[in-house]
């Protein structure tokens, strides 16, 4: 008998959530019943950053690229392959400086760029990128381009989480994880997969949940984590 697909609740913003699911290997995707419930809504804020002709930018997420002006050949220092690719497609000479903000900061301190750096980010940004660079003597400013408004779990999703069967929820940011922890029904016992230890931290309040952490903060590692979870569920 073929096992019934397990609910996979995707909490990423709409475009990013669909892209993650589409990138899953077909055989893995077929083992899940995908349900979308974004917990963060990305909205633009007013204003245009005054990035100079000889300035460079920092992108720690693809959303920064989405709301930034065209690169016009200027340099962009990026976190992660997806953000680097998006920046390149938007006219930036993009360079990947690691998978985390910490790695990017260490690389920039080693490189010590001569040009002014603009961190084009969301209102809720982590890592103190600009402060840490400034403390190291590197000229940097932060310009928020978008807001990340929290959303609620739908009644349908809450019923699924409250059900008897296994439910898998991948989580990609500390803010989304914190919102999920606030919204998750008290008696639910979801199988959670966090992008990093920082993402897992807000989930500690969910005493009945199982929390796995991806081997590294990347989409391939999250795919591998889902493979492990579904195998564990299958083996009972």
pLDDT in tens, 73-121: 999 999 999 899 999 999 999 999 998 999 999 999 999 998 899 999 9
Element spanning 52, H or E: none
Beta bridge partners of 194: 171, 213
CATH number corresponding to 6-39+152-235 = 3.40.50.10090
Contacts of residue 96, Cβ cutoff 8 Å, sequence gap at least 6: 78, 79, 80, 81, 83, 84
**pTM recorded for the entire structure:** 0.83
pLDDT band for position 2 (50/70/90)? low
Residues of the chain with CATH 3.40.50.10090: 6-39+152-235, 43-148
Contacts of residue 189, Cβ cutoff 8 Å, sequence gap at least 6: 208, 209, 210
Contacts of residue 176, Cβ cutoff 8 Å, sequence gap at least 6: 11, 12, 39, 40, 199
pLDDT in tens, 28-61: 999 999 999 999 999 999 878 889 999 999 999 9
Provide mean pLDDT across the span 13-22: 90
Least confident of 122-126, 137-141, 151-155: 122-126
Burial (0-12, 13-18, 19+ Cβ within 10 Å), 150 = middle
Question: Looking at domain 43-148, does it have CATH number 3.40.190.170?
Answer: no
pLDDT value for 1: 46
| Residue 202 DSSP label | G
């Amino acid at each position: 008998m073929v096992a019934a697909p397990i609910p996979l609740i995707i909490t990423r913003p709409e475009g990013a959530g669909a892209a993650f699911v589409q990138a899953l290997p077909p055989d893995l995707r077929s083992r899940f019943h995908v349900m979308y419930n974004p917990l963060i809504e990305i909205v633009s804020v007013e204003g245009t950053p005054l990035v100079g002709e000889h300035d460079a930018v920092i992108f720690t997420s693809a959303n920064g690229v989405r709301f930034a002006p065209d690169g016009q050949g200027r340099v962009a220092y990026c976190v992660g392959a997806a953000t680097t690719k998006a920046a390149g497609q938007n006219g930036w000479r993009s360079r990947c400086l690691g998978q985390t903000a910490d790695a990017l900061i260490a690389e920039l301190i080693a490189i010590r760029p001569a040009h002014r750096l603009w961190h084009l980010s969301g209102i809720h940004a982590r890592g103190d990128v600009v402060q840490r660079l400034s403390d190291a003597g590197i000229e940097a400013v932060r310009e928020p381009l978008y807001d990340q408004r929290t959303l609620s779990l739908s009644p349908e999703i809450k019923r699924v989480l409250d059900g008897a069967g296994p439910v898998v929820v991948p989580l990609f940011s500390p803010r989304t994880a914190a919102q999920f922890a606030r919204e998750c029904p008290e008696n639910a016992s979801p199988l959670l997969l966090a992008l990093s230890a920082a993402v897992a931290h807000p989930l500690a309040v969910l005493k009945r949940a199982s929390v796995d952490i991806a081997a590294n903060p990347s989409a391939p590692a999250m795919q591998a984590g889902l493979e492990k979870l579904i195998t564990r569920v299958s083996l009972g």
